[in-house]
Amino acid sequence: MASNRADLAAMMYPVSRALMAAELPILRTHEISMWGYAVLNTLVEQPIHTQSALAKEIGADKTRIIPVLDELQERALIERTPDPDDRRARRLAVTDAGRALRDAVQADIQRGEDRLLARIPAADRTAFLRALALLAELAPEEISYLS
């Protein structure tokens, strides 16, 4: 059976790699790493109470994330404070400076993305973003082809 479209992963994976590569010069300009930016993005959404919860949230190794958090804290972009509900846990939260940096990086990235998205006809563009957001909201285990 010949198909008239490429597989989703075959289309999406190279594009997503290229999108990440396109972010690198912007991240460098703002002196923040991809993981650092991912941490700030996650903490802007909500404070997180353990380093392993944060690592899981951004799909990173826990050992990988600790030096990233150390550096963000040194630069006063995040705070680690004792969790009042659990003495062993520490609350990770973004500072105002961290939020401002994240907003500046995101504005630059999304300006670039908007230029890229302008290649897509306007009607398709809105539907594309809506469908992509829907897929991105699924838990990884919901993306399964086993019936």
- The residue ranges that bind a second copy (CB under 8 A) are 1-3, 5-23, 25-26, 38, 41, 59, 103, 106-113, 115-117, 119-120, 123-125, 127-136, 138, 140, 143-147
Report in angstroms how near the CB of residue 138 gets to a second copy at its nearest. Answer: 8
Nearer Cβ to a second copy (89/104):
104
Report in angstroms how near the CB of residue 96 gets to a second copy at its nearest. Answer: 13
The span from the CA of 120 to the CA of 126, in Å, is: 9
Report in angstroms how near the CB of residue 118 gets to a second copy at its nearest. Answer: 12
Nearer Cβ to a second copy (20/76):
20
Nearer Cβ to a second copy (81/129):
129
Report in angstroms how near the CB of residue 127 gets to a second copy at its nearest. Answer: 4
DSSP labels, the chain: ---SS--HHHHHHHHHHHHHHHHHHHHHHTT--HHHHHHHHHHHH--BS-HHHHHHHHT--HHHHHHHHHHHHHTTSEEEEEETTEEEEEEEEE-HHHHHHHHHHHHHHHHHHHHHHTTS-HHHHHHHHHHHHHHHHS-GGGS----
Nearer Cβ to a second copy (85/142):
142
